[in-house]
Amino acid sequence: MGTAVKYDQIVHNADYRAMVVREYDMVTPENALKWGALRPDEKTFDFHEADAIVEFAQSNHIMVRGHNLCWNEDKNAPKWLLAGTYTPDQARELLKTHIQTVMAHYRGKVFCWDVVNEAVANNPKDANTPLNDGFWMRHLGPEYVELAFRYAHEADPQAQLFYNDYDLSNPMGPKSDRIYQLVKSLKAKGVPIDGVGLQAHYNLNRAPTAQALKADIQRYAALGLKVHLTELDVQLEGNPLPLSTKLNLQAKIYSDATQAALSTPACEAIVTWGFSDRWGIGHFMHEAEQKGTEFPQRLPFDRELKPKPAAFAMAAVLREAKLAPHESTTKQAMRRDNESN
């Protein structure tokens, strides 16, 4: 069980650190390993934020997922990268240097990496080239995906290498199928890919059933791949139902996702994209504050750090599967059960 974590909270907030240690055995640095944080300019690597998270994790016997080494979206690329003029050979060397420098720095400390993130287009212009436009696509073409995995394997042959993507609320739907075909083609070429990260950003109206998600996980397992649910959260805001109803529906979606993950041995991890509504996804929180709209409540614990129905639902599935959740959540769930009896 994992969660995304924020550098500033890990460094400055004792309550935040204590809750991560109590509830989780895996962390994903939310932003600290992305190009924008690591690469202030072409010649420089700045590891101080990611180092702080990795050192915290190691000191508390917590595993680290690396996120991410190559993201083709221009809006998430450093300005210096987009402003530069590069030949294909220079771009190829830039990608290789970044991946191998970062992975060498964390060799033996980060057990798996999202090597390529969100490469597949939601609505591709060309069915034969279903990848997003972006810096790497423009400079290297579709080959950049394969190159990234090969560079990563050269840098750390022991690390598990994942492809990670979103908008899988409709397993076996058009984008889901494009992701599957991309991964299948990589395997067929002998590209060193070990797993697939299904981001699992859902809302109350668009979430898969446990059975549908299970089927999607199983087809990746049939390729010999591991699966992680990498960015699980469930949006409530914008839905007119009463809050209590929304919280119960949210709990059902978290429960279904946990059941699907536990249904197939190839699925080895569930990572929520944060854990408490107090520290959710930053730009959604800022937008709510500025507009005076409903505050995001997407995560298993509320703003007071108390477990929501979603946390109890996940704990119940783990108990039933005889995979005990951390003690505090179990005790809270048992207390709730006792009180209801």
Active-site positions read 118, 231
DSSP secondary structure string, 272-339? ES-SBGGG--HHHHHHHHHHT-PPP--SSB-TTSPBPHHHHHHHHHHHHTT-PPPHHHHHHHHHHHHH
Residue 200: strand, helix, or coil: coil
For 224, the token pair is: 């010999």
Structure tokens at 72: 């083709």
Give the amino acid at 124.
P
Cite the DSSP H helix spans in the chain: 7-12, 14-23, 35-38, 48-59, 79-83, 88-105, 135-140, 143-155, 174-188, 210-221, 243-262, 282-291, 309-320, 327-340
Cβ-count burial of 128 within 10 angstroms (0-12 exposed, 13-18 middle, 19+ buried)? exposed
Distance between CA atoms of residues 223 and 321, nearest Å: 25
Question: Is 172 in a helix, a strand, or coil?
Answer: coil
CA dist 211 and 231 (Å) reads: 19
| One-letter amino acid for residue 167 of the chain | D
Spatial distance between the Cα atoms of 45 and 39, rounded to a whole number of angstroms: 5
